[in-house]
Amino acid sequence: MGLSIIILAAGQGMRMRSERPKVLQPLAGKPLLAHVLASAAELQADDVCVVYGHGGETVQATFPDPKIRWALQTEQLGTGHAVQQAAPETPGENRVLILAGDVPLLTAATLRFLLSETPGEDMSVLTVEMDDPTGYGRIVREGGSVTSIVEQKDASDEEKSIREINTGVILCPGDKLQRWLRALGNDNAQGEYYLTDVIAMAVADKVTVHGVKANTAEEVMGINDKKQLAEAERALQARLVDELMQDGVGFSDPARVDIRGTLKCGKDVFIDINAVFEGDVELGDGTQIESNNLIRDSKLGAGTVVHSNCHIEGATTGEHCELGPFARLRPGADLADKVKIGNFVEVKKSTIADGSKVNHLTYIGDAEIGTDVNVGAGTITCNYDGANKHKTTIGDGAFIGSGVELVAPVEIGAGATIGAGSTITSAAPDDSLTLERAKQKSIDGWIRPEKKEKT
Ligand code: UD1
Ligand code: CA
The pLDDT tens digits of the residues spanning 407-438 come to: 999 999 999 999 999 999 999 999 999 999 89
Mark whether 360 is an active-site residue.
yes
Which residue's CA lies nearest to atom 3 of ligand 1? 137
Query: Could you tell me if 51 and 60 are in contact, meaning their C-beta atoms sit under 8 angstroms apart?
Result: no
Query: Could you tell me if 124 and 199 are in contact, meaning their C-beta atoms sit under 8 angstroms apart?
Result: no
For the domain covering 226-434, report its CATH number: 2.160.10.10
What pLDDT score does 170 carry?
A: 98
What pLDDT score does 13 carry?
A: 85
Residues touching ligand 1 (Cβ under 6 Å) are 8-11, 51, 73, 76-79, 81-82, 100-102, 136-137, 149, 151, 165-168, 194-196, 222
What pLDDT score does 55 carry?
A: 74
What pLDDT score does 5 carry?
A: 98
How many whole angstroms separate alpha carbon 332 and alpha carbon 299?
11
Report CA(224)–ligand 2 centroid distance (Å). 6
Which of 79, 130, 219 to mutate to test ligand 1, by most ligand atoms within 8 A of the CB atom?
Answer: 79
What pLDDT score does 79 carry?
A: 96
What pLDDT score does 369 carry?
A: 98
How many whole angstroms separate alpha carbon 165 and alpha carbon 53?
26
What pLDDT score does 362 carry?
A: 98
b/e per residue, 177-209, with b = 16+ CB within 10 A?
bbebbeebeeebeeebbbbbbbbbbbbeeebeb
Reference 6, options 56, 48, 36, 34; nearest CA is 48
Q: Which candidate in 35, 307, 360, 390 is catalytic?
A: 360
- Written as one letter, the residue type at 372 is D
Instruction: Provide the phi-psi class of 415: left if phi over 0, else alpha when psi is between -120 and 50, else beta.
Output: left
How many whole angstroms separate alpha carbon 259 and alpha carbon 28?
6
Report domain extents, the chain: 3-220, 226-434
Which ligand 1 atom is at minimum distance from the Cα of 76?
A: 23
Q: In which residue ranges of the chain is pLDDT below 70?
A: none
Report CA(25)–ligand 2 centroid distance (Å). 15
- Written as one letter, the residue type at 92 is G
Q: Fold for domain 3-220?
A: Spore Coat Polysaccharide Biosynthesis Protein SpsA; Chain A (3.90.550)
What pLDDT score does 400 carry?
A: 98
Does the bond joining 325 to the residue before it have cis omega, within 30 degrees of 0? yes
The helix/strand/coil state of 175 is helix
Residues 44-65 have pLDDT tens digits of 999 999 999 977 789 999 999 9
How many whole angstroms separate alpha carbon 93 and alpha carbon 98?
16
What pLDDT score does 56 carry?
A: 78
Reference 96, options 109, 84, 110; nearest CA is 84
Q: Which ligand does the CA of 162 lie closest to?
A: 1
